[in-house]
Amino acid sequence: MRTRQIGEFSVSSIGLGCMSLSFAYGDVPDTEYGAKLLHEALDTGYTMLDTAALYGNGANETLIGETLKARRNDYMLASKCGISKNEEGVRTINGKPSEIRKVCEESLRLLQTDVIDLYYLHRLDFTIPIEESVGTLSELVTEGKIRSIGLSEMSAETIRRAHAVHPISAVQSEYSLWTRNPEIAVLDTCKDIGAAFVAFSPLARAFLTGTLQDPQSLPDGDLRYGMPRFEPENYQKNLELLEEYANLAEESGCSMAQLALAWLLAKDDHIIPIPGTKNIDHMRENAGADAVTLSEEVIVCLDQLINQKTVHGSRYNAAAQSKIDTEEFA
């Protein structure tokens, strides 16, 4: 794959989101298959792996640490702090300095490494000034435990406040044809401060692959059950968008998944999508999007076909959205 820049790191233009190997989408693959996928991803050309302390409560970091400790120099490692379980075992957003340090030390142990290349604050803790949380991350940079700082799901205003404390190398948020919120302000803010924008769920949680026809068939525990866009009435309306979308993929000589990723890559050179998958064939297919060149006509058609005005249902329900600092369309 071609490369793009995150701070001092040159990484593959498409990174690998590792979450689904341990968390969030129902059944997870066994350790042997997950390890095989990670090794083959590096062999395929992925040089950025994205994980978090949250994913499987350390299981994802453990998988990466055990599997790739002998290949640590082959990839840029990104992980996240800021979402933890409290004493009652309830998942909470926690940006306190003491918690950030505690989680970082545990992540270093599980990942079996001396340093994390890119360390994100996973969510904004509304009870703690962002300057305080980022100040602690800055101390971890000085101490050599992390190399650079990122933010996840935060607004342009918060990003600028954080950047005033310490340079922010990357901002991660959901971005795809059907989730355009970063276009309100965050994409431009990243450009202004020299940060990469890392797009998670670039395939719209499988919607843009064309392989998910009935969200009610998803396994128990799949987080999409709680998302309004995947409710039956909304989803059936959203599926109507895919007929023309599939035609555009065929016209462009690529799969539907590759079309979604190629659209993101064409948007700007500071954007790095990180599709996740539990399937080795899909991982290789996603990497192939780097070789897809879209015509201006196709890009215009895509922008008009699937956007915040044509998609039915909100990204998150009201309770989930209230805990996120990102801008929303009216």
Quote the CA–CA distance of 182 and 175 in Å, as a whole number: 7
Q: Alpha-carbon distance 139 to 147, whole Å? A: 11
CA dist., res. 321 & res. 77, Å (int): 28
Q: Output the CA torsion 93→99→100→102 (10° steps).
A: -130
Instruction: Verify whether residue 55 is a known catalytic residue.
Output: yes
Please identify which of the residues 25, 46, 55, 235 carries the catalytic annotation: 55
Q: Helices (H), strands (E): how many in the chain?
A: 12, 12
Q: Could you give the CA distance from residue 143 to residue 148 in angstroms, rounded to a whole number?
A: 12
Enter the tokens of residue 188.
């431009």
* HSE-up (13 A, CA, CB side) for residue 311: 22
Of 173, 177, 169, give the one whose Cα is nearest residue 185.
173
Q: Compute, in degrees rounded to 10, the torsion defined by CA atoms 155, 157, 162, 164.
A: 150
**What three-state secondary structure class fits 243?**
helix
**Within 10 Å of residue 300's Cβ, how many Cβ atoms?**
11
Contact 51, 21 (CB under 8 A): no
- Tokens standing for residue 74: 């082959």
Q: Which helix (H) or strand (E) holds 11?
A: strand 9-12
- Active-site residues, by number, are 55
